[in-house]
Amino acid sequence: MSVRRRPRRVAMLSVHTSPLHQPGTGDAGGMNVYVVELARRLAAAGVEVEIFTRATSAALPPVVDLAPGVLVRHVEAGPYNGSAKEDLPAYLCAFTHGLTRTWTDRHPGYYDLLHSHYWLSGQVGRTAAERWGVPLVHTMHTMAKVKNASLAMGDRPEPAARVTGETQIVAAADRLIANTGTEAAELVRHYDADAERVTVVHPGVNLDCFRPDDAGVEAGRAAARVRLGLPADALIPLFAGRIQPLKAPDVLLLAVARLLQERPRLRERLVVPVVGGPSGSGLTEPEGLQKLAARLGISDVVLFHPPVGQSRLADWYRAASVLVMPSYSESFGLVALEAQACGTPVIAADAGGLPVAVRNEVSGLLVPGHDPADYARALGSFADDPALSTRMGEAAARHARSFGWDTAAAATVDVYAAAIRTHEHEGCGSR
C-alpha cells in the first residue's frame, strides 16, 4: 500500500446521535461507543477524524475536541430538541448544506474520504461524496430489512423509506463495513451489495476500561458488589442497554418469574438489575418494563437503574453473575463483549452478531429463540452451580481480549485505503 493512499483525514458522519451523548438510552447506544472508540484509535494511528453530528441545543459550541486528533463538529439542521429519529429525513438536506459549508472552507483534498454511520448519515454521505468527489465508506449498524424480519411481537416495523434509503447507500458506497460475516451476507442477500466491496471488521472493546479486577474474576465480583451495595451471595442476572422491544428485556423478566415459580427460595438471593433507559419504540410506553415486573409479581427483585458511564458500567458487569441479552436482532452486541471483557459470562439469543460475540458453552450460553422457559433454564444452570460464573467468566475474559479496538481501527484503515484505490481507479462519481 503506498503512503499516498493512506488517508490523513476522514470526515465521519453520525447525523442522528452525537458521540458526546451518554449511551444506554434514547438514540445513544453501541454506535456512539463505536464511533468514539474507532475515531480515537484512528487518530492514534495517524488518521485525523472530524465527526459531524446534528446540533441538538443552541448552547453547543460549533466544534468540540473529543480526543487528540478527533473533533466533533455540530451542524445546524432542524429544531434543536424534540426531533425524533423518524423526523430526521426531513432535515438531511439542511445537514448536507451545513456539511458543505465546512467543506468549502477547506482546501480541496482536506478530507480524504467520508465514513458514514447508519442510514441517515449514509444519505448525507452519498450526496456529499458525489459532490466532493471523495470515496464513501459506510457502516449500517442496523438494517431495516433485517430488523423487520425478526421483530418482537407488536413492535413497530421500520418504514419502507428506510429500506429505499439503505438500498441507495449500498449502491453508492465504495466500501461497506459489516460487523460480522452474518451482516456481510445480509447486505448481499437483502440489499444486493457487491460482496467484493463488503469487508468484515469486528468491533472492539475498550480493554483498558472493561477488564476483570486485578484481584481476579471471583474476588473482583465480590469487590464490585460491595461498591454497588449488592448482596455478596446473590444470583445477579444483569440487563444493560437501551430498553426497547428489540432488546427483549421482557424475556428476561418473564424468565425470572418462571425461575421463581420453580424455585421460590431463590427469591431471597436474586437481584435483577436493569441498567439503561427507554429507547426507540420502547419510548411509547417508557414505564412498560416496570409495569411488567409488577404484573409478574417480581418488582422486589428487579432493580431499575438509569444509564451509567463506561467505568461505572464495568462495575455492574463485574458484579453480575451473568449478563443476559435476549435480543431479537443485534448487528453485534457490544454489551455482550464488554461484560465478557470484565470476566462475566453471557446468556444471549442465538441471533445476529451474538454468536460471534459469545462462544457458546465456553464464554456463555446461546439460546435459540425467545421462549422465556429456555432462558429460565439457562439461568437455572448459574443458580445450580455458583462456580459457573467464575469458570465461564475467566474464559469470557480470554475470549474478549481478541477484540481490541486497535485491531478494528487497523482493519478500518485498510478499508479506507481500498476505497481510495477503487475510487481513483473508477473515477469519481462513476458509481
By CB under 6 A, tell whether 158 contacts ligand UDP: no
Comparison of 271 and 334: residue with beta carbon closer to ligand UDP: 334
Q: Is 148 annotated as a binding residue?
A: no
- Cα 152 to Cα 175, 219, 285, 289, 378: the distances in Å are 31, 38, 15, 14, 21
Comparison of 7 and 333: residue with beta carbon closer to ligand UDP: 333
Residues 6+ apart with CB under 8 A from 288: 282
- Which residues in the 66-125 window bind ligand UDP by CB under 6 A? none
CB of 37 to ligand UDP, least distance (A): 9
| Distance from C-alpha of 402 to C-alpha of 412, rounded to nearest angstrom | 16
Q: Is 118 annotated as a binding residue?
A: yes
Residue nearest to ligand UDP (CB): 29
| Distance from C-alpha of 114 to C-alpha of 373, rounded to nearest angstrom | 46
Burial 144-164 (b: 16+ CB within 10 A, else e): bbbbbeebbeebeebeeebbe
CB of 425 to ligand UDP, least distance (A): 34
φ/ψ (deg, to 5) at 52? -100, 125
Q: Is 280 annotated as a binding residue?
A: no
CB of 309 to ligand UDP, least distance (A): 6
Task: HSE, CB side, 13 Å, CA atoms: give it for residue 69.
Answer: 17
Q: Is 76 annotated as a binding residue?
A: no
CB of 275 to ligand UDP, least distance (A): 5
φ/ψ (deg, to 5) at 131? -60, -40
Q: Is 261 annotated as a binding residue?
A: no
Q: Is 28 annotated as a binding residue?
A: yes
Residue of 95, 127, 97, 105 whose CA lies nearest to 114: 127
Q: Is 31 annotated as a binding residue?
A: yes
Residue of 342, 283, 303 whose CA lies nearest to 156: 283
By CB under 6 A, tell whether 333 contacts ligand UDP: yes
Element (H, E) at 159: none
Residue of 300, 394, 337, 302 whose CA lies nearest to 33: 337
Comparison of 10 and 334: residue with beta carbon closer to ligand UDP: 334
- Cα 75 to Cα 35, 79, 258, 426: the distances in Å are 17, 11, 49, 31
Comparison of 113 and 187: residue with beta carbon closer to ligand UDP: 187
Interface residue with ligand UDP, options 19, 125, 220, 276 (CB under 6 A): 276
By CB under 6 A, tell whether 201 contacts ligand UDP: no
- Which residues in the 18-57 window bind ligand UDP by CB under 6 A? 23-24, 29-31, 33
By CB under 6 A, tell whether 275 contacts ligand UDP: yes
- Rounded to the nearest 5 percent, the helix, strand and coil shares of the chain are 50, 15, 35
By CB under 6 A, tell whether 307 contacts ligand UDP: yes
Give the count of residues interacting with ligand UDP (CB under 6 A): 20
Amino acid at 12: M
| Distance from C-alpha of 87 to C-alpha of 39, rounded to nearest angstrom | 27
Comparison of 110 and 304: residue with beta carbon closer to ligand UDP: 304
Q: Is 317 annotated as a binding residue?
A: yes
CB of 175 to ligand UDP, least distance (A): 21
Interface residue with ligand UDP, options 335, 346, 347, 415 (CB under 6 A): 335
Q: Is 32 annotated as a binding residue?
A: yes
Site string for ligand UDP, 228-257 (x = CB under 6 A): ------------xxx---------------
By CB under 6 A, tell whether 407 contacts ligand UDP: no
* The Cα angle at residue 19 between residues 279 and 162, in degrees rounded to 5: 55
Q: Is 101 annotated as a binding residue?
A: no
By CB under 6 A, tell whether 308 contacts ligand UDP: yes
Residue with cell 460491595: 226
Residue with cell 441498567: 275
Comparison of 356 and 417: residue with beta carbon closer to ligand UDP: 356
Residue 260 CB neighbour total at 10 angstroms = 18
Binding positions are 16, 22-23, 27-32, 85, 118, 142, 162, 242, 247, 308, 317-318, 320, 330, 338, 344
Which positions lie near ligand UDP, rule CB under 6 A? 23-24, 29-31, 33, 240-242, 275-276, 307-308, 310, 313, 332-335, 338
